Chains A and B, each alone.
Chain A
Amino acid sequence: MEGQYNAPNTVSKVEAKLPDGGFIGYCDYEPGHIRRGHWEHIVNSHPLAFSVYTTDGQGFSVDLIDGSLNAGGEIFSVQGVPPTPLRLIYYKHMESDTGGYEPVCAYFVVGWQTTFEGRNVRLGLKVFPRERTFEVTQEI
């Protein structure tokens, strides 16, 4: 499944909604904001939801309770998500050419993984900022 959205080409903000209702996150472009220590806390404490924002505020998120995905307001619900904890998957795939060019984000992934009937199951959004497209895919 594929879609399109309108956004410039960088990840600008990452945040997680925590079980106590609070939010925690950091901005890629703001070094003084919440950084690495808190980021590790997010990964280890299984937040309720996790969002990645592009620089114009478009949000791409995963609900780690029911496994649904949100791509710029378009919701992708999942049938039959097992009642085991969904583990957050988030990473950026970066590329850097020789010649003094700045690294670029080729795509980022926000999704989940769980174990179902003895095997790993994954689902998530694979977002290509430069192409302004995304995929809902198990290949994350």
Chain B
Amino acid sequence: MAATFTASESTSTGPTKTDTSYLNFLVVDEVSGSDTTTEPNNHPIVIPAAGTNYSYERWCQGHWTGSFTTISNVTFYKKSGSLPTGVTIEGADRGSQTYTQSVITHSTIATTDSTSWDVVGEAFTLGYATNYSDYVVMQLHVANTATQTGTIGTMTYTFGWDEV
């Protein structure tokens, strides 16, 4: 029997850890929900008159259960999807499983533009311990130069790992 994998996201002060299939960017510190539209439509990041608006940081991990001996070489990258003018995603490998509550101000952790981790060869390499990977932290930025309204295109993020 193989390992069972899900992405996990952490929210609130605890944190509250929730297994998820989606990683949405919102203006509330809440879970992503069960699709790519409902929560983003309810809690969108609007285009500012000046400067930049930010989403809450999204803190996510890989989560493994089931029967396996070891998990190693965990990676994470943005696999596909393009962003419109004025919209960027920044992220980082937290380097640990230490959680700090998400902020909606400009992240001091998620600081690497996604164009630097959007191919498998540029993936973040994450540590693993006790069924979870280290955290990846991401944040959506919407500048006043953005013009596209409504839902932006869907991004696909990919976790990779070696499993025995």
A26 to chain B, nearest CB (A): 7
**Residue ID in chain B nearest A106 by CB atoms:** B160
Q: In the complex the two chains form, is A97's CB within 8 Å of B156's CB? A: yes
How many of chain A's residues touch chain B, expressed as a range? 20 to 34
- Cβ of B157: which chain A residues have Cβ within 8 Å of it? 97-98
B126 to chain A, nearest CB (A): 13
Q: How many residue pairs between the two chains, A and B, have CB atoms under 8 Å in the bound complex?
A: 67
Q: In the complex the two chains form, is B162's CB within 8 Å of A92's CB? A: yes
Q: In the complex the two chains form, is B160's CB within 8 Å of A95's CB? A: yes
Q: In the complex the two chains form, is B164's CB within 8 Å of A90's CB? A: yes
- Cβ of B72: which chain A residues have Cβ within 8 Å of it? 91
A49 to B7, CA, bound (A): 36
The CB with the most chain A CB atoms within 10 A, among B67, B68, B79, is that of: B67
Main secondary structure of the interface of A (DSSP, over half): mixed
Tell me if B158 counts as interface (CB < 8 A to partner A): yes
- Contact of A36 (CB < 8 Å), options: B5, B68, B163: B68
- Cβ of B164: which chain A residues have Cβ within 8 Å of it? 39, 43, 90-92
Which chain B residues numbered 119 to 164 have a C-beta less than 8 Å away from chain A?
Answer: 154-164
- Cβ of A137: which chain B residues have Cβ within 8 Å of it? none
Which chain A residues numbered 30 to 47 have a C-beta less than 8 Å away from chain B?
Answer: 30-31, 33, 35-36, 39-40, 43
Query: Beyond A90-B164, A94-B160, A98-B155: 10 further Cβ-contacts under 8 Å?
Result: A31-B67, A36-B67, A40-B69, A94-B163, A96-B62, A96-B159, A97-B156, A98-B23, A99-B36, A103-B5
Given known contacts A99-B154, A100-B21, A93 and B1 CB-to-CB distance under 8 angstroms:
no
Tell me if B22 counts as interface (CB < 8 A to partner A): yes
B48 to chain A, nearest CB (A): 27
- Cβ of A95: which chain B residues have Cβ within 8 Å of it? 158-160
Interface string of A66-97 (1 = CB under 8 A from B): 00000000000000000000000011111111
